[in-house]
Amino acid sequence: MRRIIGLSLVVVGVVLLVWGFNAADSFASDVSRFFTGSPTDRAIWLTIAGVAAIVAGGVAVALPNKALA
């Protein structure tokens, strides 16, 4: 069961990363980058959440079954 949840987290993480990269390339991020030097907060948070979900899912999949028992 833990592996299914881990794989699901990896998939969700990839989706969040794609959304984050798309948000970073949006017009709003271009305007924000022009005035502040960084993309919008939404793009940053989507990217961070995507990386965190991928790492958590990868750890859940990689751990042996007896490690959490």
pLDDT in tens, 33-57: 888 888 888 899 999 999 999 999 9
pLDDT score, position 20: 92
Tell me the residue type at 65: N
**Averaged confidence pLDDT in the chain:** 89
Give me the mean pLDDT over the 20-41 stretch. 87
User: What does the chain come to in residues?
Assistant: 69
Rounded to two decimals, the pTM is 0.82
The whole-angstrom separation of Cα 5 and Cα 18 is: 20
pLDDT of 66 strictly over 90 = no
Vertex 44: Cα angle to 56 and 15 (nearest 5): 50
The whole-angstrom separation of Cα 35 and Cα 5 is: 41
The whole-angstrom separation of Cα 16 and Cα 52 is: 10
Q: Please, where are the H alpha helices in the chain?
A: 2-24, 27-36, 41-62
